Amino acid sequence: MNPSFSLISCFLFLLLLLLLFNAGGVNGTDITNETCTKAADSDPNLNYNFCLSSLQSNPKSLTSDLQGLGVISMELCLSNGTNINSHIGKLLEGQIIEVNPSAIKYLKDCLELYTDAIYDTQDAIKAFEANDYSSANIKMSSVMDASTNCEDGFKEEGHNLVSPLEKENSDFFQLTAISLAITNLVNHPFDFILSM
């Protein structure tokens, strides 16, 4: 056996043990904090406190690794998108508030956008769980567009309507930004581990 090969193998084995030992000593709260710090640092539109409270709203986050947090974040997007879709339906039916008649067209557009976003989020979760991070990233980027396109519709054609979905769109955007950031972190795990 070549002595330099043996030395390199020994070094890599020790490095792997060190990384596993350090990663094993980190609890879910630390991983969630570190993940949200990294996510907020990578995207100026992402709010650290929103990230932390969103991920911690799922009790599984306390025992999750980075991969688990990715699934949790996408499941939050799915749940939130489904709730927004339902909320839009109620707005269109006049069950919540009376909506400006000029806004009806844009609400219908938003309903379609969020319906598509729900399906795309389901596809993103499947891709993420299959370790196909590129496809998950593409799908979640498309999902993120639902909130911005929905919000932009109300400002279209000089109507400059007040969006009845401003908070919902903002929260959904944040959730998708969290998912995208985690997907990028999972896709580059060595960078994440070194920062811990």
Q: Which domains does the chain have, with CATH numbers?
A: 40-195 (1.20.140.40)
CA angle in degrees (0–180, nearest 5) for 180-42-131: 35
- Predicted pLDDT of residue 10: 44
pTM of the model: 0.81
Q: What is the mean pLDDT of each run of 10 residues along the chain (196 residues)?
A: 53 47 51 93 93 96 94 98 96 81 91 98 98 96 96 81 93 97 85 50
For residue 11, count other CB atoms closer than 10 A to its CB: 10
- Predicted pLDDT of residue 94: 82
For residue 12, count other CB atoms closer than 10 A to its CB: 10
- Predicted pLDDT of residue 99: 78
CA dihedral (89, 95, 97, 100) in degrees, to 10, reads 60
Rounded distance, CA 39 to CA 48, Å? 8
The DSSP line for 39-58 is: HHHH-TTS-HHHHHHHHHTS
- Predicted pLDDT of residue 3: 53
- Predicted pLDDT of residue 97: 74
